[in-house]
Homo-oligomer: A and B are copies of this chain.
Amino acid sequence: MVEQTAHIRFVRGPSPFAARKTFLEFREVFSFHKRFVDLPFHTTYDETMEKKRLTIKDIAREAGVGIGTVSRVLNNSPHISESSKKAVLQVVERHNYQISAEAAGLARKTKRRKLVGILLPDISNHYFFEVFESVYKKFKNLDIDLIILNYTDHTSETVKRILETNLCALMLFAIHLDKEDLQLLKNRNIPYLYVDSYQPDEHCIHVDNHTGGVLAANYLLNKGCSKPCYIHGPTQAQTDKDRYAGFAATIETALSVSPLQYHAIITEKSGYEIAMQIIDAGECDGVFCFCDEIAIGVLKAIRRTGSSLSVIGYDGIRVSEAWNLSTISQDPELVGERAVQSVLPLIDKITDEGPKQIQLVPVLIDRNS
């Protein structure tokens, strides 16, 4: 009889909700008779049923105490007898019960913790990580936690998680959200800041890439280069386009020729390989790279071959100093710092007027590379 009962198959009715309710009632009754039939409390009827989450009510029943007691034990409240405590913890342990933080938070009196969300790009040069590091360090002193929201292609999935997360602000690193997702954020009044990309009518902070390209061009020209080239990173990125545009325009004005163009992915290895090609071809005497990682690869190739190629990178990440690499620095630490400065007022809803847009200017760090 017990076996039979345990295998009853509940067919979903028109409303799964109702069906579930029915089952719960069923289990409730069943549980009541537990002592007679000796069926484990946890019996589920079928895998078609959504797995029931364990609640303190379940724990309380099984431990033979009230839910209040369970709650108190879980929260280490005083005035609990050792025996109750032990009983509860035993059941908790046995079922690997985990409290629902949502429910707890909802019921609690004191609220409002500060949590800032961050979206980091997939294909990332180390630059973003250094910006992130800077952001992290600033928030560390402000009693603000940081959540890094994982995301893949489908931003809509990510946005869904964002909305489930009680953020007080969101930082978007080199990511563009589409209208619909943005609207969702706006509906929910979650302030957000674009980092490293310019967005009209939005809070954003970025470093002027066009100017960076110009600086790089001037660097190579000053070194006496007459046959400069550019190694692209991700060509679909606006940053890549802008850097090249500034670079090419300056070169063309000065030399009346367009710079040669190469393409690499953002790794030292890729930079090294392209550099070997460039050196072999012998058609260039100066290289401007989309980012420092590529440039370091180029530098390695130069040092290995003894080539006289000049090279300049972009970003100003920490290792560039060690390699003695000239670079157009975006000062990741500063960017992070300013980003935090921008976000703070948004968190506290001190949104005076329109969007705050910050444009920083990159600087040349000349290490004679």
| B150–A139 CB distance below 8 A | yes
Find out whether the CB atom of A76 lies under 8 angstroms from the CB atom of B184. yes
A79 CB-CB contact with B under 8 Å: no
Known contacts A104-B164, A150-B146; decide if A92 and B133 are in contact (CB<8 Å).
no
Among the stretches A94-102, A240-248, A355-363, the one at the interface with B is A94-102
Complex Cα distance, B319 from A341, in Å, reads: 29
- Cross-chain contact A96 with B319 (CB below 8 angstroms): no
State A113–B323 Cα separation when bound (angstroms). 42
Q: Kindly state the interface size class of chain A when it binds its partner.
A: 35 or more
Sample of 12 A–B contacts (CB below 8 Å): A76-B180, A99-B163, A99-B188, A100-B166, A101-B102, A101-B166, A122-B140, A140-B150, A144-B150, A145-B150, A146-B147, A296-B322
| Beta-carbon nearest neighbor of A146 in chain B | B148
Q: Does A284 contact B (CB under 8 A)?
A: no
Chain A residues packing against B (C-beta within 8 Å): 50, 53, 73-74, 76, 89, 92-93, 96-106, 108-109, 111, 113, 115, 120, 122, 129, 133, 136, 139-140, 142-150, 152, 161, 163-166, 180, 183-184, 187-190, 296, 318-319, 322-323, 349
A50 and B92 CA atoms in complex are apart in Å by: 35
Residues of B within 8 A of A102 (CB): 101-103, 105-106, 166
Q: Which residues from chain B contact A122 at a C-beta distance below 8 Å?
A: 140
Least CB separation from A98: chain B residue: B189
Other-chain contact of A53, B111, B150, B152 (Cβ < 8 Å): B111
